[in-house]
Structure 1
Amino acid sequence: MATAKKAPAKKAPAKKAAPAKKAAPAKKAAPAKKVAAKAPAKKAAPAKKVAAKKAPAKKRTPNPAFMKALTPSAALAAVVGALPLPRTEVVSKLWVYIKKNKLQDAVNKRMINADAKLKEIFGKAQVSMFEMAGLIGKHLK
């Protein structure tokens, strides 16, 4: 029980240190005002989001030209098939072929390294994925 009496004796000095801590929160009060000043800026942002939510109420309709089935040329048919397909499906099937044959450049993933079949379509050994859609258009009727 002697040890139990020593523990309360240690708590008493901690109470004396409490008045010194009161001075520290007073210093923290000034930065709190800065945080409060930033709060109105955050409140203004949600107002913009509400306005943005109202704008996309109209449903976006896809352009029918993208959905029109087009016949691929012989070179393109070797990769995607001979059946008429929309442009979107042609691009999707080309990406399946590129990934299956690991033709995407390892360092720069935007570049596609053409094999023999793709070289006939693209006309060069390497194209960017952004050029690809334009080069495919020449092979669709």
Structure 2
Amino acid sequence: MATTKKPTKANSALAKPVQPDEVLAKVVGSTPLPRTELTKKIWDYIKKNGLQDEKKKTLINADDALKAVFGGKKQVTMFEMTKLVNAHVS
């Protein structure tokens, strides 16, 4: 008898919708969305507003909306950004 493979599940933690708080909602909207989509919307916002540093692409320059998300910082690395954004979701 042949064994059937179970389909692999997507990481449920990434697929589970998270609720952006009031500060983050100014950037990504207020509806709950999966973390993958949240990250995509943040990057869309960064690119649309030209906030990625020209010389060092791993740095994000904050406008007023992102500065609130980044705890008042004017510039963060993309790795730091993930940690700071996580503080604004539930």
The structure with the greater share of residues assigned to strand is 2
Q: Percentage identity across aligned positions?
A: 52
Runs of 4+ in 1 over 6 A off after TM superposition: none
Query: 2:25 & 2:65 partners in 1: Cα distance?
Result: 10
Partner of 1:115: 63
Q: 1:59 to 1:131 in 2, by over 3 A?
A: farther
| Cα deviation code 1:82-122 (max 9, x no counterpart) | 00011111110000000000000000000000000000001
Higher helix share: 1
Q: Which residue of 1 aligns with 2:13?
A: 65
Aligned counterparts of 1:113 and 1:107: Cα–Cα separation in 2: 12
Greater C-alpha radius of gyration = 1
1:118, 1:139 → 2: CA distance?
12
Partner of 1:76: 24
**What is the TM-score with the length of structure 2 in the denominator?**
0.87
Structure 2 unpaired stretches of 5+: 1-5
Gaps of 5+ in 1: 1-57
Two-structure CA RMSD over aligned residues (Å): 1.4
- In the TM superposition, 1:129-140 aligns within 5 A as 129-140=78-89
The number of aligned residues is 84
In 1, Cα distance between the equivalents of 2:33 and 2:13?
A: 12
Which of 45, 49, 52 in structure 2 is aligned with 1:104? 52
SS in 2 for 1:104: coil
Which structure is higher in RCO with an 8 Å CA cutoff and minimum separation 6?
A: 2
